Amino acid sequence: MTEPTPDSPLKIGTRGSPLALAQAHEVRGRLATAHSLPEDCFAITVIQTTGDAVQDRPLSEIGGKGLFTKELEAALIDRRIDIAVHSTKDVANLLPDGLTLSTFLPREDVRDSFISRKYATFDALPQGSVVGTSSIRRRAQMAARRPDLRFVEFRGNVQTRLAKLDAGLAVATLLACAGLNRLGQTDLLNPIPPETMLPAVAQGAISIEQRADDAQASALLAPLNDADSALVVAVERAFLAELDGSCRTPIGGLAQMQDGHVTLRGEILKPDGSITHSDTWRAPCADAVEMGAAAGRELLRRAGPGFL
């Protein structure tokens, strides 16, 4: 392998949001450490994405998955960047030809965090409370437990959302614990157990996309891959792939590995939370990805035509 140098660095592509930048710096730090190279052998290149540019409309309205990744993938294909760092939760199931999601960092906390200045837990919210969220999954899950709640559209970074809470637009909001950890906002951690609120598929998992034929990137990234995290995320994505997985369908899924087996919990909901189909599956690691796909098909069959 030709090693990258400060004059010819490996180009790490990322979105420009504070969370994306934190994740890109995390990857750069791991690459430098793994190969005992100075950090300036790895250059961080910010790519503007549709999901970041359009701030005034719900994500589910602007388009499906890929809003945060399309431009990064175009930059990979054009060789403006060599690797792209993603929150796997935002990565579409189908990648463009010639690209591969090759590398998964050890998974972070998978849970959602309940954030409110007034109430300690989700269950403590008074009747009719207004909750801010832009996630149709979180909204459907909350409505399923608490049909009395009302919802307002809430986008933007952590600071923007806290300002909206302070302005009284809502009394609570939800954010992924993983993002809060990576941004150093651990004061806001207030995890909701997955049994109460099943996270999004691949929540908390950073992955790295590259050109499939790029031997240098493959060699540099190999020591960063966490095989267990790669497997559980593959199981969840196999589940999602069967369920269409557009941003308009509320879907939750979490796979966890123990004793050579993978347990998958999955659910699909009506957007208003009125109907939920969920179940748990378990299989040896070797069969787990196929189990994820079968689980998706099973929920689809139970839900019946027209549910999604």
Ligand X SMILES: NCc1[nH]cc(CCC(=O)O)c1CC(=O)O
Taking a C-beta distance cutoff of 8 angstroms, is the pair 239, 264 a contact? yes
Stretch 21-40: interaction string toward ligand X, x if CB under 6 A: --------------------
**For residue 298, which amino acid is it?**
E
Note whether 253 binds ligand X by CB under 6 A. Answer: no
Q: What are phi and psi of 3, to 5 degrees?
A: -80, 145
Binding residues for ligand X, rule CB under 6 A, total: 9
Exposed/middle/buried for residue 237 (C-beta within 10 Å: 0-12, 13-18, 19+): buried
Task: Give the shortest CB-172-to-ligand X separation in angstroms.
Answer: 14
In this chain, which of 11, 15, 28, 89 binds ligand X, going by CB under 6 A? 89
The C-alpha atoms of residue 85 and residue 176 are separated, in whole angstroms, by 18
Note whether 15 binds ligand X by CB under 6 A. Answer: no
Q: With respect to ligand X, which residue has the nearer C-beta, 17 or 102?
A: 17
Note whether 4 binds ligand X by CB under 6 A. Answer: no
Task: Give the shortest CB-2-to-ligand X separation in angstroms.
Answer: 32
Site for ligand X in 197-236 (CB under 6 A): 203-204
Catalytic, 90? Answer yes
Note whether 65 binds ligand X by CB under 6 A. Answer: no
* Residue whose pair of structure tokens reads 């490996």 in the numeric block: 10
The three-state (H, E, C) secondary structure of 157-222, written as one string = CHHHHHHHHHCCCCCEEEEEHHHHHHCCCHHHCCEECCCCCCCCCCCCCEEEEEECCCHHHHHHHH
Site for ligand X in 118-177 (CB under 6 A): 175-176
**For residue 252, which amino acid is it?**
G
Note whether 266 binds ligand X by CB under 6 A. Answer: no
Q: With respect to ligand X, which residue has the nearer C-beta, 200 or 264?
A: 200
Note whether 90 binds ligand X by CB under 6 A. Answer: yes
The region of 34-42, 85-93, 260-268, 297-305 touching ligand X under the rule CB under 6 A is 85-93
**For residue 130, which amino acid is it?**
V
Closest CA to 276 of 125, 145, 98: 145
Set 52, 56, 78, 90: catalytic member: 90
Q: Catalogue the active-site residues.
A: 90
Q: Applying CB under 6 A, which residues contact ligand X? A: 87, 89-90, 175-176, 178-179, 203-204
